[in-house]
């Protein structure tokens, strides 16, 4: 069905292929087919038991009612203390995607554009497109280790630019922006009076030292989520740290859309933060090992790839590959991955997520390597 | 603070007073003050234990991952069988509010207007305002038992009208639209080719026979929620039943905003549906008794009110009352209610929600009666 679309619709379909493949893989699974899902950043580990128990306790205590649109005070205060901001700056949301959609909705209602380094996480572009926001891409290349060119960045920004979206560490490249480069990027943004929205959902699991946008002051926006660090993808909880004015607008939008995140989910998140050091250390170790394994297996092929700075993605390049066809063919063969075109104009690339047990990762990667030969 | 706003901002503040009072009452409570909260439609009963247990079981089974944007197949199929539609027509959402925001977002992006009988639930207008949608109100009056005038309705609809929002039973009046009148309304909408979005979140607890919009065929939209029927307000789960084209658009919007409702919450909802007959019967009985109690207490005053057809609201009128001042004064006195201006141009009215234990309802109503004397 997907392959028979009209050419005019193709671009949109391509961008959404990440989601199409994800839904298709789930469907195949529910039909009983065995799929090695290297396509989604959804950790295979269960949510830690203590977190589940905290949710259950909260439910039993009756924390099943309407509550504050901004989120629970306890959770906001805890996050504020972690990030060294005021609780007024913290807004609890249903996952990081909500931040991109809602902030673009609020800041770009009356026009304007945003700048996004590519490759980029699909959700940014889909939200922008839905909202009619003009998107300008700053292409980076595997050959220069995905480095952002600040002069190019400067030239892309104009008077109508409202946001620069950074993803640090990056999905799909797992690249961390070095401190000195991040300083330069912030300088450009400050010069041009453009807010940076920094998606740092992989930062707590980073293999290398990773600066937060909040380390640089200014009126920039941090987006974070409990999904990856705590294997809580399906709980739908994340947060933003923003200036009070934007926080106020976001709270009003929460009020008229989803009201509040279930309080028992917020209690689970609070428990997660209490256990963060232990949980994050375990996760990091696990993903580090998987990344090493993937490096080893993939090195045997003609694939070009950069060593990941963070979980859980590889974004290798194979010359002359049509990654869309490749992804669909592989799915028929029991392995799901995402074509590079879902992350920008990267047809020769594909994304692998190391979110399966090691044995399956190994098997999946071997199937990929075979298919490329 | 609320009373010192500029006149130009007043209208917006007034409409949002429902939410201001709700957040203020919660703040006062968290400071240890005793507040009789007759201001929110948030049932005082706990979520039934079986529902909580179902959520916990699902969490333990690992149902904490990303899942289908449209909702779980089992839940959609169950709802489809209840409403005699196809599962493709069912979309699971984070509460009914999401339906209003998202459907207006999708259908009115390129302009158009909506028609809403007044008094109306605040959320409709707030979403419309945020989205820049023109709203036309069809006023109804307590003296004609809140009857919708179909000729007036016809005259309000023009070529740019995209939606008619019905709330049946109504919040704040607890009025059910009689079958014959609903037939007439549907006829007008069909004539004019306007879709009806029918918010029926109180229907399962209605004291009288209440037709659903789905009983009339056509391309109309049902909005429902688990919040009221099952005392699950804080779980944030509801659903819409819509044509397949709009369903597809909603699923895409889900994908780029909140992804999916937590699967364990959907499992809880599925359990709720299994127990629906028993739970709804108990709730109905409880609210019936409270409504009778309120009729009795309020009859002793100069208040004008209509007997409710459904839980849990009364929307009485007191001649020459300034219900905004009244609401704030009462809040200082330990009783929260909502001024009529939150539901349209109804300054002499106020809304009482019978969502507290009977003893407190009695005490709260007596305080209200005293304050009016």
Question: Looking at A17-31, A116-130, B144-158, which range is the least confident one?
Answer: A17-31
Q: Is the pLDDT of residue A65 over 90?
A: yes
Q: Show Cβ contacts of residue B80 under 8 Å, excluding neighbours closer than 6 positions.
A: B86, B87, B89, B90
- B-proximal residues of A, 200-259, CB under 8 Å: 231-236, 252-253, 255-259
Provide, as residue numbers in chain B, all residues whose Cβ is less than 8 Å from the Cβ of A68.
23, 26
Domain A2-34+278-372 fold: 3.90.1150
Q: Which long-range contacts (CB under 8 A, 24 or more apart) does B125-130 make?
A: B125/B15, B126/A255, B126/A256, B126/B15, B126/B16, B127/A256, B127/A257, B127/B97, B127/B100, B127/B101, B128/B104, B129/B12, B129/B15, B130/A252, B130/A253, B130/A256, B130/B101
* Confidence grade of residue B30 (pLDDT, cut at 50, 70, 90): confident
**Residue B27: its pLDDT value, please?**
86
Q: Which architecture, in CATH terms, is A65-275?
A: 3-Layer(aba) Sandwich (3.40)
Mean pLDDT of B51-58: 98
Average pLDDT of A86-113?
A: 96
Is A97 near chain B, with CB under 8 Å? yes
Which pLDDT value is given to residue A41? 86
Q: What is the pLDDT of residue A19?
A: 77
The residues, any chain, with a CB within 8 Å of residue B195's CB and separated by 6 or more, are B107, B162, B163, B164, B189, B219, B220, B221
The verdict on pTM exceeding 0.90 is: yes
- pLDDT 10s digits, B98-112: 999 999 999 998 899
The per-residue pLDDT for A260 is 97
Q: In A, residues 54-73, which contact B (CB 8 Å cutoff)?
A: 55-56, 59-60, 62-69, 73
Can you tell me the mean pLDDT for B267-275?
98
Residue B1's pLDDT band (boundaries 50, 70, 90)?
very low
* pLDDT number for residue A20: 80
Query: Is the Cβ pair B258, A259 closer than 8 Å?
Result: no
Percent of chain B clearing pLDDT 90 (strictly above): 88
pLDDT digits (tens, 9 = 90+) for A208-254: 999 999 999 989 999 999 999 999 999 999 999 999 999 999 999 99
Q: Residue A367 has what pLDDT?
A: 94
Mutate to test the interface with A, among B102, B234, B264, B336 (most CBs of A within 10 A): B234
B258 chain-A contacts, CB cut-off 8 A = 94-95, 97-98, 236, 258
The interface residues of chain B toward chain A in range 17-46, judged by CB-CB distance below 8 A, are 19, 22-23, 26, 30, 40, 42, 46
Looking at beta carbons, which residues of chain A come within 8 Å of B235? 64, 262
**pLDDT the model gives residue B234:** 97
Contact B97 A26 (CB under 8 A): no
Question: Tell me: the pLDDT tens digits for B193-205?
Answer: 999 999 999 999 9
pLDDT of A333 over the 80 cut: yes
**In the predicted model, what is the mean pLDDT of residues B43-71?**
96
Q: What is the dihedral of CA B126, B284, B227, A232, to 10 degrees?
A: 170
Tokens representing A141 are 């290349």
The tokens describing A4, both together, are 């028979």
Token duo for residue A312: 């859980």
Predicted confidence (pLDDT) at residue B231 exceeds the cutoff of 70:
yes
Confidence check: pLDDT of B92 > 80: yes
A-chain residues near B37 (CB < 8 A):
none
Q: Which of B233, B256, B266, B267 to mutate to test the interface with A (most CBs of A within 10 A)?
A: B256
Nearest-CA residue of chain B relative to A103? B257
Chain B residues touching residue A87 (CB < 8 angstroms): none
B236:A255 CB<8 A: no
Chain A: give the shortest CA distance to residue B143, in Å. Answer: 31
For residue A65, give the nearest of B42, B132, B261 by CB distance.
Answer: B42
pLDDT for res B13: 47
- The mean pLDDT value for A282-309 works out to 95
Q: Is the pLDDT of residue B70 over 70?
A: yes
Tokens standing for residue A217: 């002051």
Map out the domains of chain B as residue ranges.
2-34+278-372, 65-275
Which of A 129-168 lie inside 8 A of B, CB atoms?
Answer: 130, 132
**pLDDT value for B9:** 43
pLDDT at B15: 52
pLDDT tier, A373 (very low <50, low <70, confident <90, very high otherwise): confident
Of A30, A123, A253, the CB nearest to B256: A123
Q: In chain A, which residues have their Cβ closer than 8 Å to the Cβ of B66?
A: 22, 40, 42, 233-234
Contact B223, B100 (CB under 8 A): yes
Read off the pLDDT of residues B150-186 as tens digits, 9 standing for 90 and up: 999 999 999 999 999 999 999 999 999 999 999 999 9
As a whole number, mean pLDDT of residues B283-309 equals 95
Q: Of A56, A59, A234, which has the smallest distance from its Cβ to B66's Cβ? A: A234
Predicted confidence (pLDDT) at residue A13 exceeds the cutoff of 60: no
Measured between alpha carbons, how far is residue A241 from residues A79, A90, A164, A177, B239 in Å? Answer: 9, 5, 16, 20, 30
Please state the rounded mean pLDDT for residues B355-365: 95
Question: Which residues in chain B have their CB less than 8 angstroms from residue A312's CB?
Answer: none
pLDDT > 60? residue B11: no
Give the mutation candidate from B132, B259, B356 for the A interface (greatest A CB count, under 10 A).
Answer: B259
* CB-based contacts of A370, cutoff 8 Å, min separation 6: none
- Per the prediction, chain B carries an average pLDDT of 93
Question: Is residue A21 over pLDDT 90?
Answer: no
pLDDT tens digits, residue range A48-64? Answer: 999 999 999 999 999 99
Beta strands, E only, A182-266: 195-199, 221-225, 238-241
Residues of chain B numbered 299-328 and touching chain A (CB < 8 Å)? none
Q: Which residues, at least 6 apart from A130, have a Cβ–Cβ distance to it below 8 Å? A: A101, B252, B253, B256
Alpha-carbon gap, residue B7 to A368, rounded angstroms: 66
């Amino acid at each position: 069905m997907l392959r028979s679309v009209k050419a005019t619709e193709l671009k949109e379909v391509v961008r959404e292929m990440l989601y199409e493949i994800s839904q298709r893989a789930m469907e195949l699974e529910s039909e009983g087919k065995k799929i090695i899902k290297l396509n989604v950043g959804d950790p295979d580990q269960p949510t830690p038991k203590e977190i589940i128990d905290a949710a259950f306790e909260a439910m039993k205590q009756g924390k099943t009612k309407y509550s504050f649109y901004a989120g629970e005070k306890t959770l906001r205060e805890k996050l504020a203390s972690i990030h060294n901001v005021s609780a007024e700056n913290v807004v609890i949301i249903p996952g990081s995607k909500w931040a991109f959609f809602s902030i673009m909705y609020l800041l770009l209602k009356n026009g304007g554009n945003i700048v996004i380094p590519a490759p980029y996480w699909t959700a940014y572009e889909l939200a922008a497109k839905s909202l009619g926001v003009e998107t300008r891409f700053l292409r980076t290349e595997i050959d220069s280790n995905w480095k952002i060119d600040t002069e190019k960045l400067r030239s892309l920004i104009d008077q109508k630019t409202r946001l620069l979206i950074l993803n640090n560490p990056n999905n799909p490249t797992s690249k961390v922006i070095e401190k000195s480069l991040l300083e330069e990027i912030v300088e450009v943004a400050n010069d041009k009076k453009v807010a940076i929205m920094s998606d740092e959902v992989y930062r707590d699991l980073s293999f290398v030292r990773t600066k937060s946008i909040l380390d640089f002051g200014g009126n920039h926006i941090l987006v974070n989520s409990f999904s990856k660090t705590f294997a809580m993808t399906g709980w739908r909880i994340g947060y933003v740290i923003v200036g009070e004015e934007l926080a106020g607008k976001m709270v009003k939008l929460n009020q008229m859309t989803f009201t509040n995140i279930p309080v028992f989910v917020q209690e689970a998140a609070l428990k997660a933060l209490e256990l963060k050091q232990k949980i994050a250390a375990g996760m990091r170790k696990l993903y580090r090992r998987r990344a090493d394994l993937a490096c080893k297996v993939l090195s045997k092929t003609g694939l070009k790839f950069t060593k990941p700075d963070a979980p859980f993605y590889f974004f290798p390049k194979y010359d002359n590959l049509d990654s869309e066809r490749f992804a669909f063919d592989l799915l028929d063969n029991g392995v799901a991955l995402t074509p590079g075109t879902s992350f920008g104009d990267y047809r020769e690339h594909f994304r692998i997520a190391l979110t399966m047990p090691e044995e399956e990762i190994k098997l999946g990667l071997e199937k990929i390597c075979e298919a490329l030969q």
